[in-house]
Structure 1
Amino acid sequence: MLTKCMGRKSIVTVTGAGQHWVATAAACAKLGLDCTIFMGNIDIERQSSNILLMKYLGSGSNTLGLFHEFIRDENVRLIGVEAAGNGIGTRKHSATLAKGQVGVYHGTMSYLLQDDEGQIIESHSIGVRLEYPGVSPELSFLKDIGRAEFYTITYEEALQGIFLALEAAHALPYLEKLCPTLAIGTKVVVNCSG
């Protein structure tokens, strides 16, 4: 809708797993916009059903989709939970906001997993859509202004309890840490995709 309001005619983007970009392709089809989506070869093989949906529809993130509704309401805490993989003390995690540093990757400035020389470090997660060394500029901005908080959960913690999409499964075990710190009667909304 923003693209349409700006008078633009097309969207060009990149994806890993493709689920969010199926929605982008659908929105572009609905609004009559050209949509070009770039995706890596390995991801294309792993996510063939999403590729098919995108093609049928003409060629941000779950977190941001949920946060969007509450950003202006300062009474609502925005909490993101990242994939700590084997632990953020190891190199096998995708905790970009917890362990990353600001840099530029794929043309955007955001938090990235990188070494001391600014070289990108490979991310690791059991959730396909979490295997990316960066994060959206919008989430980086929300962290920088202190509007959103970000924490981590290991893959072992994520696999306990309700089984849903692995990406969203990281949020549920964090509730055991969060809820004891909240006032009685506090409402909690959890984004459970998949």
Structure 2
Amino acid sequence: MKKILVINASVSQENNSDSLEMSKLFVSEYKKLYSGDQIIYLDLNETSMAQKTLTRNNIQTFFNQEDSFKFIEQLKTIDKIILNFSMINYSIPAILKNFIDHITVANLSFTYKGSKDGKAIGMLSNIENVQLLATKGGTDTPNGAFTDYVKNIWEFLGAKVTVPIINEMMDMPPYNEQTSLKNIEKVRDDILKAARLF
């Protein structure tokens, strides 16, 4: 039995989140194929950790058991991750950046000890697959500013990451006038295929 962590990093309302709808479809298809796997949900909006930004004034207490280490401990028991989020101002939601800051901790999720070439050794190599499900408002902004960054972080920590699925033009007609359920049709086939291979 595999343990799947489903992380919601969307800051849209639950009934109007295109990336969350992508995640729901992915999980639904995955469960049809792998019904014996354990699905664990983590909504970053509901964590106290997500409300904290790292500053010089809190760096001494920022990394602690409740806000940081417990997530790293959980990640070390996880086999796969499904992560949904949207582009915000060429970047990722603040709650996702805060989560990344909290789980990227030297000697807990990565280390330089034993490195022969100066490169970090990721300590989350147990995560055999991370699927990124993302949305963006238009098509003229580069993907590298948000999905590549998240992909690189997970790989830095030792996880394997598949090709992200990005649903574009969500702020443009007709998509900004449609429901999330309708908007998902544009990437439905990609999501179903990825879920089967996950």
- TM above 0.5: no
If the length of structure 1 is used for normalisation, what is the TM-score? Answer: 0.27
If the length of structure 2 is used for normalisation, what is the TM-score? Answer: 0.27
Structure with greater helix percent: 2
